[in-house]
Amino acid sequence: MQPAPQTAVSASPEQVLTDKIQQKTARTAVVGLGYVGLPLLTELARSGFHAIGVEKDAGKVEQFSRADSYIPDVPSTLLKKLVSENRAEATVDEAILADCDTVSICVPTPLRKTRDPDLTYIVSAAENLAKYLHPGMLIVLESTTYPGTTEEVILPILEATGLRVGEDFFLCFSPERVDPGNHQYDTRNIPKVMGGVTPACTRVGTTLYEQVMDRVVPVSSTRVAEMVKLLENTFRMINIGLANEMAMMCDQMEIDVWEVIEAAATKPFGFMPFYPGPGLGGHCIPVDPHYLSWKTKQAGGAARFIELAADINGSMPRHVVNKVQQALNDISMAVRGSGILIVGVAYKRDVSDTRESPALDIIALLENLGAVVSYSDPHVPKLTVASHELESQPIVTAASQADCCVLITDHSDVDYKALASSSKLIVDTRNRLRGFPGSNVVRL
């Protein structure tokens, strides 16, 4: 009697996708080619995958195709190499997702004017992706959002296709941790947190990013991963708020807050130095904690630390303007009619991004007081403030002509010695001019 023939057991979608990833035959896609998406795309391509960027902005796609990088952290030389070797491409056509095995979503998550989360871009990306969802596909959301977004917003859209999460397709959240302008930590060497809707999702997501990142940190759920990002930025926001409040208190008591922080930082445990400044800017710290605050309110709680820190940090532009007024008063000048040069308008050192920059508020406040305001920033050639446009001025010439300079952003490629020697009066909000000779420097 002949034995019954063995029935071949087909591999599961998880195993098929895992094999593709480990063999580098998986086609990877990144939706959104901004400051998070473009660096991720280049790392996927450098790691041996064919990487496809999907971007609605046709101008960015055109620049990508010319290998003309618009993100400082991605050199054009690297982009040129990846494009010429056909390892990376970009398109406005979302239909290409139908042929992709993995999709990382890196779209903006702004706040509405009411400080509520605006998930328009996330929902749009999920709805478009659902048209092309197929068995054996991994989706990783990287856009910062409130805990629960992946499972409460993205998952229902994808499961409406009839496919089952953890069996047919895999869904994870992995918070972006990009720090633009940071030359020590980049997309590859910053540890990557990964949380899946199911254990299978976490396994597949971890497998993909282990091919690209130096270290992946799996966590138990998407909610944990979502909360990780908010904790990181809330931690910074609150401690910067404390430093800013200390600066205002020390100012009232005529104590040098910078000396206080420097001395406190000598303690080898139990203290981490944070520094005051003109206010918070950028796409993360001023925005992300409000996602957590909003979600906490929805659950019936209150995020008191977040609200207090937001108030303190939000008051810093006005505090800076008050320092300018006091400094001018001390030399018998009024703000009205004075020429004031803002030095640095980007939200942080060595970047060109002005989103949420405190310089915008400071310029508007000074103009409302009647000052004649100009600015100098080697990274920002033009700037729109309150519906009118300004152009960056040569720093030494503009400083010598101004009645007062206000140092907001301390770019590393500025000649501060020349700035100090050519200026009549400087309000330094970054302590960048500490140790420079002369009595024309007023520090925060």
* Catalytic positions: 284
Q: Is 215 helix (H, G, I), strand (E, B) or coil?
A: coil
CB of 197 closer than 8 Å to CB of 155: yes
DSSP string, 418-440: HHHHH-S-EEESS-TTTT-SSS-
Looking only at the bridges linking them, the beta strands covering 388-391 and 382-385 are: antiparallel
Closest residue by Cα to residue 347 from 179, 214, 218, 121: 179
CB of 280 closer than 8 Å to CB of 356: yes
Residue 246: CB atoms within 10 A of its CB come to 18
Which helix H or strand E contains 62, and what residues bound it? helix 58-65
Q: Is 171 helix (H, G, I), strand (E, B) or coil?
A: strand
The neighbouring-strand residues paired with 428 are: 407, 443
Residue 84: CB atoms within 10 A of its CB come to 10
CB of 54 closer than 8 Å to CB of 128: no
d(CA 356, CA 408): 13
Which helix H or strand E contains 45, and what residues bound it? helix 37-46
| Residue with token string 């409460």 | 152
The neighbouring-strand residues paired with 217 are: 193
Which helix H or strand E contains 230, and what residues bound it? helix 222-253
d(CA 197, CA 127): 18
d(CA 43, CA 368): 46
CB of 38 closer than 8 Å to CB of 63: no
The neighbouring-strand residues paired with 135 are: none
d(CA 190, CA 176): 9
Q: What is the torsional sign of CA 182, 188, 192, 194?
A: positive
